Amino acid sequence: MDNELQLISDGDGLAVIGDPTAVESFLVSEGLLSQSKDLGLHRLSSTLFRATEAVDAGAMIAQGSGRWVQLTQQSAQLIGQHGNALMTSSQSGLSMGVVQGSGGKIQGIVQFAHGPGSFLANPAMLAGAAGIMAQMAMQQAMNEIKDYLDVIDQKVADVLRAQKDAALADMIGVDIVIEEAMTVRGQVGRVSDITWSKVQGTSMTIARTQAYALRQLDALAVKLERNDMADLATTSKAAQQEVVEWLAVLARCFQLQDAIAILELDRVLDSSPAELDHHRLGLKAARQNRLQLIARSTERLLVRMDAAASKANTKVLMHPVASKVVVQSTNQVAAGVVEFNRRLGIENGREAVEARRWIEAAVDTRDRFIDTGAEGVDTAKRFGNEQLVRAKSATDKLSRGVAERVPFFRRGGQKRYKKTEEDD
């Protein structure tokens, strides 16, 4: 292998394979060493190479080193820099190539490595490396979800136990079984027949739980279409906790589905290595479909939240307290949804809807009076001079959560008061 560094990218990560010193120097020069992880190429020697090429392949694995880097903006730039060194395979979807140099410093670019010691020239070795890369990407995604669950301080098991629905109750057992299988895999380094027999029937339970959680989010989205401001304020306030809980269930479902995929790839690598590439691509497509399903549901929820907040802002004069509750609640829930999507790799953008101050609404009302013409001028004067003074006072009182009294005028300028009904 000398100083040739073989690069493989599957769209989720980048593998750098070669002499250990050269690999480390290369990653150091690119500022990626601290982000990289051992690819674990030794796992391939006992499963893939039992034919005449086993000696060459085994020797290459023993002498070589592989490091994996998740595709971030920085590592993607690295691929861009050496893009002319990579060629994409239409069958595997992998981008592959070789950079060549001394001590990790790039001196030139060659299209492919040659000889039996090259991953890129050996379909079985390449498929095995790609399978391990897929597992590492899914493990990284699982860690991201764990971090998300830790941040929101949400114990998914507690949520599941609080439910009476059978699908959610069954998830408790599935959670335990898959966690045990992942623990055994970490200790043994493979997935045995016994381990696989315990987990192979769990996918249906997870899918059923995911569907249930998505339906709950859709139901909350529908409730946000209510016209009554009192109901809307109550619903949006309750949604602050309910949405967090169902997002936590969805996150755990996605995490467990990735765990099953990791176990599946180990199983295929062990039993049918020739099918590994096709299975890897199938799992990737299935994962993308799950992401799209969740994205559509969360997008519907975000759209309804924005509509509820916008509606509340139009009702701020008549329902100042309820309007503020709706806007604040929907913004808090939406922020949680956006963070959830980010953790799962779903990109979306949403700007928080700022609650309109009561005084701003009063100014808008005065301006509308002025726009009505000559008849509206006198009314605007009466409204503008005294209403703005009372609007400022109302704003201060609103901050203390006290219901305010709104002045209105009879013909002839007499003034009296009526109490607003905040939650009509």
d(CA 162, CA 172): 11
Q: What is the pLDDT of residue 234?
A: 87
pLDDT tens-digit map of 4-59: 788 888 888 889 888 888 888 888 888 888 889 998 887 876 665 554 444 455 55
CB-CB contact of 306 with 350 (8 Å)? yes
Q: Which two tokens stand for residue 171?
A: 């998830």
pLDDT at 58: 53
In three-state secondary structure terms, 357 is: coil
Instruction: Give me the residues of the chain with pLDDT under 50, please.
Output: 1, 51-55, 103-116, 358-359, 361-363, 365-366, 369-370, 372-389, 391-392, 394-424
Q: Pick left, alpha or beta for residue 358 (phi over 0 → left; psi -120 to 50 → alpha; otherwise beta).
A: alpha
d(C-alpha 264, C-alpha 280), whole Å: 9
End-to-end CA distance of the chain: 77
Contacts of 280 (CB under 8 A, 6+ apart): 127, 130, 131, 134, 265
Q: Which of these, 382, 388, 386, lies nearest to 369 by C-alpha position?
A: 382
Q: Say how far apart CA 252 and CA 157 lie, in whole Å.
A: 9
pLDDT at 283: 95
The helix (run of H) or strand (run of E) holding residue 17 is strand 13-18
Strand partners, 256: none
Q: Please give the distance of CA 11 from its chain centroid, rounded to a whole number.
A: 17
Q: What are phi and psi of 400, to 5 degrees?
A: -100, 5
Q: Give residues with Cβ within 8 angstroms of 40, minimum separation 6.
A: 66, 132
State residue 203's pLDDT score.
93
**And the tokens for 391?**
């609007």
pLDDT of residue 190: 86
**Alpha carbon 333 to chain centroid distance?**
15
Task: Bin 382: left if φ > 0, else alpha if -120 < ψ < 50, else beta.
Answer: alpha
CB 170 within 8 A of CB 249: no
Long-range contacts of 108-116 (CB under 8 A, 24+ apart): 109/82, 109/84, 109/85, 110/4, 110/85, 111/85, 111/87, 112/87, 113/1, 113/4, 113/6, 116/53, 116/56, 116/57, 116/60
Are 205 and 285 a contacting pair, CB within 8 Å?
A: no
- Spatial neighbors of 60 by CB under 8 A, at least 6 apart, are 1, 116, 117, 118, 119
Q: Are 315 and 323 in contact (CB under 8 A)?
A: yes
**CA 240/CA 332 separation, integer angstroms:** 7
Spatial separation of the C-alpha atoms in residues 365 and 408, rounded to whole Å: 13
Angle at CA of residue 47, ends 189 and 273, nearest 5°: 110
Give pLDDT, residue 75.
65
Which pLDDT belongs to residue 258? 96
Beta carbons within 8 Å of 94's beta carbon, 6+ residues apart: 8, 9, 10, 88, 126, 130
**In terms of DSSP bridges, do strands 65-70 and 37-38 run parallel, antiparallel, or are they unpaired?**
antiparallel
DSSP of 247-266, one letter per residue?
A: HHHHHHHHHHHHHHHHHHHH
Strand stretches in 162-278, DSSP E: none
